[in-house]
Amino acid sequence: MKKLIWLLLLSISSFKVSAQNKPKMYYTDTSSTGIMIAKDPVVVKFKGQYLMYYSKQVFQKSDDGMLGWNIGIAQSPDLYHWRKVAEINSQASYEQHGLCAPGAIVKDGKVHLFYQTYGNGPKDALCHAWSADGVNFIRDVSNPIFSPKGDWTNGRAIDAEVYFYKNRYFLYFATRDKAGEIQKQGVATAPANTDFKRQDWKQATDDAILAPALNWEGQCIEGASIIKRNNKLYMFYAGSYNNMPQQIGVAESKDGIHWKRLSDKPFLKNGLPGTWNSSESGHPGIFEDEDGQTYLFYQGNNDQGKTWYLSNVKIGWNKKGPYIISNP
């Protein structure tokens, strides 16, 4: 009997997603390693086309045991069917171990990309680059542009998200406590006329703006993605570390600094056993189209992180906040 149960569990864990079970968007990248891995999506509309920036794996393991990452770029006519068009490789010395987890905004006819260095532990920091075509990027000469300071943090900054609100730019990031165990959200600000260089960013508070407190959030809140609705900001965030499972929650704020959760339960949960995202639904990227419709992009897998896919769900809004219109 025990052997039968074990075989059943094994068959569930190794479930292959059939055509009937695939969500409408089901994107991954095999270009560097042959392994299906795409993570950390962010989407913009630029010069009439949808562009998605995401983390992709360059190699599985180096001599020093590190995994290698860079940033992929995909294009879509409809937000569901994506075609890879380019990638951003390590170029500067501070990126020598990798770069990933992009955030992006469109400003003054350019795409501004905010991303993290990789593989430096507490020394990982946020960087900035810009592009006139959305594909070829020029690095900011002041890179890295930000890392946090104070007794509340170990100095690490990852998962950049930039949003303009109340005449200034907010730079949201994830960091860890001094022990490097608890991941939490912080924020810095810059004036409206900023060119996003290092000297413009000022840490807005000497403490986390959102830290894990609920059971489902485990020891991690990361991947903040921001949108304005109902005259306030909403933060979609990832709770718990990858595959534990990571799920998506929502918080709201009137000033961009003080945040309150909308619920003590996840907004978007991981899937049921056997589904494509049974191991997690994580790292959100909220996108508002030109017609005001919104889509929540996120990553998922069903094999504890051996592969990673990207998908989205359409989001509706009412006075209470966001709700899911379509859920695969």
pLDDT at res. 136: 98
**Which pLDDT score, from 0 to 100, does residue 254 have?**
98
What tokens does 123 get? 């020394």
Report in angstroms the alpha-carbon separations of 41 from 63, 115, 211, 289, 325.
28, 12, 22, 15, 20
Q: Map out the domains of the chain as residue ranges.
A: 98-324
In this structure, the dihedral spanned by the alpha carbons of residues 170, 242, 72 and 274, taken in order and rounded to 10 degrees, is -130
Confidence label for 6 from pLDDT (cuts 50, 70 and 90): very low
pLDDT at 125: 98
| pLDDT band at residue 132 under the 50/70/90 scheme | very high
Give the pLDDT confidence of 149-204 residue by residue, as tens digits: 999 999 999 999 999 999 999 999 999 999 999 999 999 999 999 999 999 999 99
pLDDT digits (tens, 9 = 90+) for 43-99: 999 999 999 999 999 877 666 555 689 999 999 999 999 999 999 999 999 999 999
Q: What share of the chain is helix, strand, coil (3-state, %, to 5)?
A: 5, 45, 45
Phi, psi of 229, rounded to the nearest 5 degrees? -155, 155
Contact 67, 60 (CB under 8 A): yes
Whether residue 9 is predicted with pLDDT greater than 60 in this model: the reply is no
Tokens 């407190």 locate to 213
Residues 44, 100: Cα–Cα separation, whole Å:
17
**69 phi/psi in degrees, rounded to 5:** -135, 150
**pLDDT tens per residue across span 104-130:** 999 999 999 999 999 999 999 999 999
| pLDDT tens-digit map of 226-235 | 999 999 999 9
Q: Which amino acid is at 203?
A: Q
For tokens 């994830």, the residue is 174
* Structure tokens that stand for 61 in this block: 């393991």
Backbone phi, then psi, for 3, in 5-degree steps?
Answer: -65, -40
Q: What is the pLDDT of residues 240-292, one digit of tens each?
A: 999 999 999 999 999 999 999 999 999 999 999 999 999 999 999 999 999 99
pLDDT at 3 over 60: no
- The beta strands (E) that lie in the chain are given as 38-46, 49-59, 68-76, 83-88, 99-107, 110-117, 126-131, 138-139, 158-165, 168-176, 183-191, 202-203, 221-229, 232-239, 247-253, 260-261, 280-288, 294-301, 309-318, 321-324
Distance CA 316, CA 313 (A): 10
Q: In angstroms, rounded to a whole number, what is the distance separating the alpha carbons of residues 324 and 317?
A: 9
Percent of the chain with pLDDT over 90: 88
Question: What does the pLDDT read at residue 33?
Answer: 84
Q: What pLDDT score does 66 carry?
A: 56
CATH of domain 98-324: 2.115.10.20
pTM of the entire structure? 0.93
